Each structure stands twice: as structure tokens, then as C-alpha cells.
């Protein structure tokens, strides 16, 4: 994900000028402790509390608890504070002892909800999705976050982990919002094959800054030392078998993007195609196509009399996609910087019309311009796959401006024990736009 840089004048505000430091947060409150009553969950893996009239985002807490919070970020003039719950005065009935000994305040930052069950974690995520959709898109969503098959009550699902190297050459994971590294000998949300490599028990090689470990669907384990010093990154073969569709194998670089939950890819493809209801002969556009997963299944659904175009900005993913769609003469996947000048001309040169769209953008979302330009082609339906409910809600509001409404929305717990959520929204033309398409 690309993060937009702050203006230079603001970047300088936290630097020293001469012998004086420009304080944007006043005097630091880091380490200060106070007791608070914890309110509801908020987007980002924390709950909201208030202290002295100021909002405090508290990690390691649950709604309704009374806790002692220790400030981890903020000062006397900050608009809000960040804190960890370091002592539980009154616990929620949903609290449990974290199964991972590396989880908790000041420890590994990989998980947000180890201190509750996977089921209650889904309840918390449901509240977040509902609040974001209502606040940013004016949508009252009655659904719930669904479990994805393939984990063990929220554990043992992550098929890829990138470990960092601590100063004493141990592999570990970073603390929350920190470059500090917590050495680990296992990760309970990772599949057991990762710890079984023995890499977590050995010192890292000299000059290695990290190790990326991936486990394929057939159990093959690949470890890549970072930084990558040559172009010989191995490939893995992943399999996707959505309900009602034939299983397919996909080649992906060991450093390329792939859904890390073993049930995620099949779940998302199934949800998208169930919502799109593709018909033979239709034209489909797959934006942010990655290694061609949706492109391939769309091509299968529309048949040889149809056409499918996938566009992807990452060159490595486009290279990986070649063999993945090679069996479909009516499907192509090309490199294009979606949202920048020229990408729309690629669509117009390849497809005589657009009946269906799949949008699977990065965490920041597609944005108003892309949503507007895509829907201006008047697809019959569009599937939006989102890993951030706030970005999704904003883009759904932009879709409404273009005359499209949400006809279904499903949310999935593809990242148990963390605050991350994946959603699949199906959009359909409404009102005058629907009449225009029918004509």
C-alpha cells in the first residue's frame, strides 16, 4: 500500500530547529496511567474511552470493561491518546486468557483480539462494519461477519508470515506501531508448518533483515531471505475451489500477493460470482486483478463467446498471471496503473462493452475517480472486494453518486484475532441508470 507523504512543512514540525524541538503534542504523556471505563469498539483494533474530556483509543480492552490504561502515544495538547489496558479492574464476560504468550501490552503487535474468542471477535468486527457503512455511506447493514473455513477457532490459519530480525539475530515480529522486534519461537495464528521449519530457533544469516515464509496449498514451504539479492524467487502453486465451480491451480511468486487464509480465495470468488451471476457471452472487467484469480473464473463463467480483461499495476503479478489464464483465449491480463491516465483506453480498446466488473483495490480503496469512470461504462453488476470497511463505505457512497446501489454485502473474518475484515459488496444499476442499461 502506498502511503501519501505529508507536506514538507509538516514533516519538519517534528524535527529539531537549532536547539529547540517544535512540540506538536505538547509534553509527552507516554507512560502515564489512569483508570477508564471502556466504550464500544472502533475501527483499528481498539476500543474508545474518555479521560479528562479527551478520546483515548485503548488496545487490549473489551467494551464495558473498567481498566487501567497506560498511554503509548500522545501528549498534553494531543487531540486524542493511544493507550494499552495494562490492568483489568472489571473484566468483560467475553474476556479470556490470550492463548499466545507473545500477545499483550508491549508485546507482539500482530494480533488485536487474542484476549477474546474468535466468535466474539466476529461480533466486534460486525459492529465496526455496521458503523462505517452507516457513518460514511448511509447504509444500514443487517448482516454479520462470517467465519471463513480453514482455521482452528481463529488460530492456525496464516499461510505466510514475514519475520524481522532482532538485534541478537533472532526472528520475530514487530510491536504495535513500532520498529522494535519481539523474538518468537511460534506464531499461533500461523499454520504449524512455519514453526516446523526450525527457522525460529536459529540465528538469522548475516546481513539478513528478515525472512518471508510461505506455505502453499500442497504443503510446500518456501523461505525467502530479505532483502532479496537475486531474481530467483521461487513460485508456489495455490488451489482455489469455490462451491459449484471447478478447482483451479494458480501460480504465484513466493513474494507475490496471495490471500493468507487458506479458505479466503475460494470464499471471495464464490461470493463475487454468486452476486454477479455472469452469463455466457458477457464482457467482464477485472480491476486490480493480481495473478488472475477472478479473471480466470470470470472467463470460465462467460465462456468462449464472452470476453474478460484483467488490469493490474504490479509487473510481477502480471507475469505470474500469464500461465494462470493461458487456457482462456478470450481472457487477457495487462499491466495498467489504474486511476492514472491511459488505463481507460486499454478497456475501451479491448471490450466493446462492460457488463460485469470486479474491483479488488488495495486497502486505500479505489477512490471517487476510478469508481466514477468504471460505472460510467454502465455495467449490469459490479463486485467490490474490500479489505478496509471505511474505504469500502466511502467508495459505495461514490457509487451511489453514479446511480448504483448495494444489493448485497457480505463480510468475512479472513484474518481472525486481528481487526482486519474482508467484504464483498454487489452493486447494481438503479433508477434512471438501470432504465438506460435496459434500453
- pLDDT score at 53: 94
pLDDT, averaged across the chain: 93
Residue 252: what are its φ and ψ, rounded to 5°? -145, 140
- pLDDT score at 23: 54
- pLDDT score at 435: 67
202 is in an annotated binding site: no
140 is in an annotated binding site: no
User: Rounded to 10 degrees, what is the CA torsion of 231, 184, 119, 96?
Assistant: -170
- Evaluated on CA atoms 380, 385, 390, 395, the torsion sign reads negative
- pLDDT score at 438: 73
Q: What is the rounded distance in angstroms from the CA atom of residue 311 to the CA atom of residue 408?
A: 25
Query: Other CB atoms closer than 10 Å to residue 430's CB: what's the count?
Result: 15
Tell if the pTM clears 0.95, that is, is over it. no
Catalytic residue, from 100, 111, 187, 387: name it.
387
Residue with cell 462451491: 243
Asked if 243 contacts 394 with a C-beta cutoff of 8 angstroms, the reply is no
Domains of the chain from N-terminus onward: 8-95 (2.40.50.140), 125-151+237-438 (3.40.50.150), 160-232 (no CATH)
- pLDDT score at 20: 41
387 belongs to the catalytic site: yes
List alpha helices for 351-417, DSSP H: 368-375, 389-401
Across the beta sheet with 46-51, the strand order is: 33-37, 66-73, 80-90, 54-59, 46-51, 41-42
312 is in an annotated binding site: yes
40 is in an annotated binding site: no
Show the low-confidence residues of the chain (pLDDT under 50).
1-22
Amino acid at each position: 500500500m502506498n502511503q501519501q507523504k505529508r507536506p514538507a512543512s509538516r514533516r519538519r514540525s517534528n524535527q529539531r530547529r537549532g536547539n529547540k524541538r517544535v512540540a506538536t503534542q505538547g509534553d509527552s504523556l507516554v507512560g502515564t496511567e489512569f483508570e477508564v471505563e471502556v466504550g464500544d469498539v472502533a475501527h483499528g483494533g481498539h476500543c474508545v474511552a474518555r479521560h479528562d474530556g479527551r478520546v483515548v483509543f485503548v488496545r487490549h480492552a473489551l467494551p464495558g470493561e473498567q481498566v487501567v490504561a497506560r498511554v503509548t502515544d500522545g501528549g498534553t495538547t494531543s487531540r486524542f491518546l493511544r493507550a494499552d489496558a495494562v490492568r483489568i479492574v472489571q473484566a468483560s464476560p467475553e474476556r479470556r486468557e490470550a492463548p499466545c504468550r507473545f500477545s499483550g501490552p508491549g508485546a507482539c503487535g500482530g494480533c488485536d483480539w487474542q484476549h477474546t474468542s474468535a466468535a466474539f471477535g466476529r461480533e466486534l468486527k460486525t459492529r465496526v462494519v455496521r458503523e462505517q457503512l452507516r457513518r460514511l455511506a448511509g447504509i444500514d447493514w443487517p448482516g454479520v461477519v462470517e467465519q471463513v473455513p480453514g482455521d482452528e477457532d481463529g488460530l492456525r490459519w496464516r499461510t505466510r508470515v514475514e519475520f524481522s530480525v532482532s538485534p541478537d539475530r533472532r526472528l520475530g515480529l514487530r510491536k504495535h506501531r513500532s520498529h522494535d522486534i519481539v523474538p518468537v519461537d511460534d506464531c499461533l495464528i500461523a499454520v504449524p508448518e512455519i514453526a516446523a521449519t526450525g527457522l525460529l530457533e536459529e540465528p538469522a544469516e548475516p546481513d539478513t533483515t528478515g525472512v518471508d515464509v510461505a506455505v502453499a496449498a500442497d504443503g510446500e514451504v518456501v523461505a525467502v531471505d530479505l532483502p532479496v539479492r537475486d531474481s530467483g524467487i521461487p513460485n508456489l502453486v495455490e488451489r482455489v475451489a469455490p462451491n459449484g465451480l471447478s478447482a483451479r491451480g494458480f501460480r504465484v511468486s513466493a513474494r507475490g500477493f496471495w490471500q493468507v487464509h487458506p479458505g479466503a480465495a475460494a470464499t471471495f470468488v464464490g461470493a463475487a460470482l454468486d452476486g454477479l451471476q455472469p452469463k455466457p457471452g458477457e464482457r467482464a472487467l477485472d480491476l486490480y486483478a493480481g495473478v488472475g484469480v477472478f479473471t480466470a473464473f470470470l472467463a470460465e463463467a462467460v465462456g468462449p463467446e464472452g470476453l474478460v480483461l484483467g488490469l493490474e499495476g504490479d509487473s510481477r503479478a502480471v507475469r505470474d498471471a500469464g500461465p494462470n489464464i493461458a487456457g482462456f483465449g478470450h481472457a487477457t491480463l495487462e499491466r495498467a496503473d489504474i486511476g492514472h491516465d491511459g488505463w481507460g483506453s486499454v478497456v475501451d480498446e479491448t471490450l466493446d462493452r462492460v457488463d460485469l466488473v470486479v474491483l479488488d483495490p488495495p486497502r486505500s480503496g479505489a477512490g471517487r475517480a476510478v469508481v466514477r469512470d468504471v460505472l460510467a461504462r454502465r455495467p449490469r453488476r459490479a463486485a467490490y472486494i474490500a479489505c478496509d470497511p471505511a474505504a469500502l463505505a466511502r467508495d459505495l457512497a461514490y457509487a451511489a453518486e453514479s446511480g448504483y446501489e448495494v444489493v448485497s454485502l457480505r463480510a468475512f473474518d479472513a484474518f481472525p484475532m486481528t481487526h482486519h475484515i474482508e467484504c464483498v459488496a454487489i452493486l447494481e444499476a438503479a433508477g434512471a441508470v438501470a432504465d438506460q442499461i435496459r434500453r
